[in-house]
């Protein structure tokens, strides 16, 4: 039974968040955590102040820690690994590190001795995941309600990609260039991790060109479920997407890692649909007859099709602060700095939009924002 509890939480006021998190977790039948070691995985795409709405709000993380302590958790670890993580990274700007200190939770570094895992649904590709996974009894995914330029929506399943340490994430966009292939990778990671519970911060979400440069949208909601995919399904419903349109949900349902919500014990996602929510426009699926084409030609064909279907990002000169983060994260090495401007090699660019995610000043435009 995949019930999804959706509760009201009008603002980031700690007492209200505490109560709403408690209600959401109880209504969603949070598993017993007594004596357990729990890893909380908030979304810290890049360490940014809570007002930017990029990260899971620290009050939501605090309320979750408090509830777990109340329910007898033995140890609570908190971690994430942004793409451009510096050594000994601490999420100070987002306020999450301070919450850990004040609530007695331990911040953990995912870059220390990660281990290779074989990821299902990816032709047995191997990927590094944090070794913390082997030290805990349960993983709780704490995503933020956001759009995502590549995957349309980012939720409890996509949030687990942060268990891959920092720059190890970038090559995945080269290996899995289509939305559908990337969705298979996300679903495969979820299958390996098997998150026990998910709580989504939708008090203020993000619409438009997410996950880093979209606009804040007040939703006043928290969503919780033991089924990460069902939770993402509910989020997609509220955004106005169908399950077939969001590749991670379509792939997750096909692979059986989760299911369609069987009930909504508090608020019903179908009655919360936001007709004016600024979604990412859905593009046609990339379809190929794999078995008929030899692998080398097939990979070339996929790259050609991806480039044809998706626009390359555009780099604005004025807002750019020349931090070089886009250059550092680009898995295709398509970016250079010349005369204090970012220059893109459009032939090399694989349209993964990692640069857009890490730009701290919205100096990169993708898809919907690029004039044709």
Q: Closest Cα to residue 350, out of 124, 179, 159, 186? A: 179
**Interface residues toward ligand SF4, by CB under 6 A:** 313, 315, 320-326, 330, 332, 334-335, 342, 344, 349-355, 358-359, 361, 363-364
- Work out the number of other CB atoms within 10 angstroms of the CB of residue 277: 16
Q: How many CB atoms lie within 10 A of CB 319?
A: 12
Beta carbon of residue 334, minimum distance to ligand SF4 (angstroms, whole number): 4
CA contacts within 13 A on the Cβ side of 46: 20
Nearer to ligand SF4, 97 or 325 (CB): 325
- CB closer to ligand SF4, 212 vs 249: 212
Smaller CB distance to ligand SF4: residue 99 or 329? Answer: 329
Neighbouring CB atoms inside 10 A of 325's CB total 19
* Residue matched to tokens 């044809």: 308
> What is the smallest separation between the CB atom of 2 and ligand SF4, expressed in angstroms?
34
Beta-carbon contacts of residue 276 (< 8 Å; ≥ 6 apart) = none
Other CB atoms within 10 Å distance of the CB of residue 316: 14
Tokens of 281: 């426009």
Please tell me the distance from the alpha carbon of residue 47 to that of residue 11, in angstroms, as a whole number.
Answer: 21
Closest among 133, 130, 128, 108 to 118, alpha carbons compared = 128
Place of tokens 């301070």: 98
115 vs 304 by CB, closer to ligand SF4: 304
Residue 333 Cβ, how far from ligand SF4 at the closest point, in Å?
Answer: 8
CB of 91 to ligand SF4, least distance (A): 19
Cβ nearer to ligand SF4, comparing 2 with 81: 81
Q: How far apart are the first and last CA of the chain?
A: 46
Q: Minimum Å distance from CB 220 to ligand SF4?
A: 32
C-beta of residue 101 within 8 angstroms of C-beta of residue 90: no
Question: At closest approach, how far in Å is the CB of 309 from ligand SF4?
Answer: 13
Cβ at position 235, least distance to ligand SF4 in Å: 25
Minimum CB distance to ligand SF4 smaller for 195 or for 331: 331
Residues 223 and 28: their CA atoms lie apart, in Å, by 9
Between 230 and 352, name the residue whose CB sits nearer to ligand SF4. Answer: 352
């Amino acid at each position: 039974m995949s019930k999804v509890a959706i509760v009201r939480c009008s603002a980031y006021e700690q007492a209200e968040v505490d109560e709403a998190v408690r209600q959401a977790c109880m209504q969603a039948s949070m598993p017993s955590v007594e004596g357990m070691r729990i890893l909380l995985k908030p979304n810290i795409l890049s360490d940014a102040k809570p007002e930017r709405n990029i990260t899971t709000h620290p009050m939501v993380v605090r309320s979750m820690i408090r509830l777990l302590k109340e329910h007898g958790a033995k140890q609570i670890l908190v971690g994430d690994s942004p793409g451009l993580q510096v050594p000994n990274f601490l999420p100070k700007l987002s306020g999450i590190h301070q919450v850990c200190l004040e609530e007695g939770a331990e911040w953990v570094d995912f870059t220390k001795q990660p281990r290779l895992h074989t990821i299902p649904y990816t032709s047995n590709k191997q990927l590094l995941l944090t070794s913390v996974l082997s030290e805990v009894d349960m993983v709780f995914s704490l995503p933020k309600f956001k759009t995502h330029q590549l995957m349309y929506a980012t939720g409890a399943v996509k949030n687990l990609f942060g268990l891959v340490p920092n720059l190890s994430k970038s090559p995945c966009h080269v290996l899995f260039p289509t939305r559908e292939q990337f969705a298979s990778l996300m679903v495969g990671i979820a299958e390996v991790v098997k998150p026990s519970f998910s709580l989504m911060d939708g008090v203020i979400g993000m619409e438009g060109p997410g996950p880093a440069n979209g606009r804040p949208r007040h939703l006043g909601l928290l969503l919780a479920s033991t089924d990460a995919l069902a939770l993402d399904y509910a989020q997609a419903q509220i955004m106005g997407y169908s399950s077939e349109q969001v590749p991670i949900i379509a792939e997750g349902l096909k692979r059986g890692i989760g299911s369609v919500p069987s009930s909504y014990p508090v608020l019903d996602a179908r009655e919360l649909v936001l007709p004016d929510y600024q979604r990412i426009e859905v593009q046609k699926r990339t379809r190929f007859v794999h078995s008929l084409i030899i692998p080398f030609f097939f990979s070339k064909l996929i790259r050609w099709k991806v480039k044809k279907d998706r626009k390359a990002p555009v780099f604005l000169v004025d807002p750019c602060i020349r931090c070089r983060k886009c250059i550092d994260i680009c898995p295709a090495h398509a970016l250079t700095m010349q005369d204090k401007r970012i220059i893109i090699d459009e032939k090399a660019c694989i349209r993964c939009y990692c640069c857009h995610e890490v730009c701290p000043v919205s100096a990169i435009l993708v898809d919907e924002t690029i004039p044709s």
